[in-house]
């Protein structure tokens, strides 16, 4: 038979446990502040990079055909060069995923912000180094 007193003691114990658990969780979350990206995240970025590369190569193909078809204007040539440069960056980023260097700034070695990688997945530099 539970008395009011025992009930109160149980509630108190549960509350204490809960608060302990939540501080533990908070501490854990703090400790696992992203020092590197997880294999799942890297796989996601690899997929994005591969898709971008595919799109880019398709663009190059289309542009090349338009150049062959008629007057190769400077604009088309410029666009081809730009796409090929992007493909180069994408390849380099894919290579960095392979060798475990992806997500780290090539200049300062710091982890590149996830938001920045989402905006520019092939970037080799953190925002600080890019703008500095
Ligand atoms: Zn940097």
Q: In this structure, what CATH number is given to the domain that contains residue 108?
A: 1.20.120.910
pLDDT value, residue 31? 47
Q: Are 51 and 118 in contact (CB under 8 A)?
A: no
> What is the model's pLDDT at position 30?
47
Tokens 């300062």 -> residue: 108
Range of the domain at 53: 37-131
Q: With a cut of 90, say whether residue 53 has pLDDT above it.
A: yes
At 20, list the tokens: 């302990």
Find where tokens 């204007």 sit: 73
Distance from the CA of 47 to the center of ligand 1, in angstroms? 24
Measured in Å, residue 130 CA sits from the centre of ligand 1 at: 7
- 112 CA → ligand 1 middle, Å: 7
Cα pseudo-dihedral 20, 22, 25, 30, rounded to 10: -100
What is the per-residue pLDDT for 94? 98
Q: Is residue 104 part of a domain?
A: yes
The pTM of the whole model exceeds 0.75: no
Q: How far, in Å, from the CA of 127 to the mean position of ligand 1?
A: 7
Residues with beta carbon < 5 A to ion ligand 1?
A: 105, 107-108, 126, 129
- In a domain? residue 25: no
pLDDT per position as a tens digit, 4-24: 777 788 787 777 776 666 555
pLDDT in tens, 100-113: 999 999 999 999 99
Number of folded domains in the chain? 1
- Does the residue 3 lie in any domain? no
Q: Is residue 49 part of a domain?
A: yes
Contact in structure between 56 and 86 (CB atoms under 8 Å): yes
Q: Is residue 42 a contact partner of residue 96, using CB atoms and an 8 Å limit?
A: no
Look at residue 32 and tell me if it is in a domain.
no
Bigger pLDDT: 42 vs 26: 42
Residue 92 Cα to ligand 1 middle (Å): 17
Q: Does residue 130 surpass a pLDDT of 50?
A: yes
Mean pLDDT of the chain, nearest integer: 85
74-98 helix and 39-69 helix, angle to the nearest 10 degrees: 160
Give the Å distance between the CA of 51 and the centre of ligand 1: 26
Residue the block writes with tokens 């979350």: 29
Q: Does 6 map to a domain? A: no
Greater pLDDT, 74 or 106: 106
Q: Quick check: 27 pLDDT over 90?
A: no
Determine what percent of the chain is predicted with pLDDT higher than 90.
Answer: 61
Give me 63's structure tokens: 């542009």
């Amino acid at each position: 038979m539970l008395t009011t007193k025992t009930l109160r003691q149980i509630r108190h114990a549960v509350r204490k446990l809960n608060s302990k658990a939540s501080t533990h969780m908070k501490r854990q979350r703090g400790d696992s502040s992203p020092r590197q990206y997880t294999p799942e995240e890297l796989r996601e970025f690899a997929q994005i990079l591969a898709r971008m590369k595919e799109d880019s190569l398709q663009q190059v193909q289309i542009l090349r055909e338009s150049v062959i078809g008629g007057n190769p204007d400077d604009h088309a040539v410029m666009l081809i060069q730009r796409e090929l440069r992007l493909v180069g960056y994408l390849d380099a980023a894919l290579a960095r995923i392979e060798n475990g260097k992806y997500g780290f700034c090539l200049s300062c070695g710091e982890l590149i912000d996830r938001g920045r990688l989402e905006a520019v997945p092939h970037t080799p530099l953190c925002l600080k180094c890019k703008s500095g």
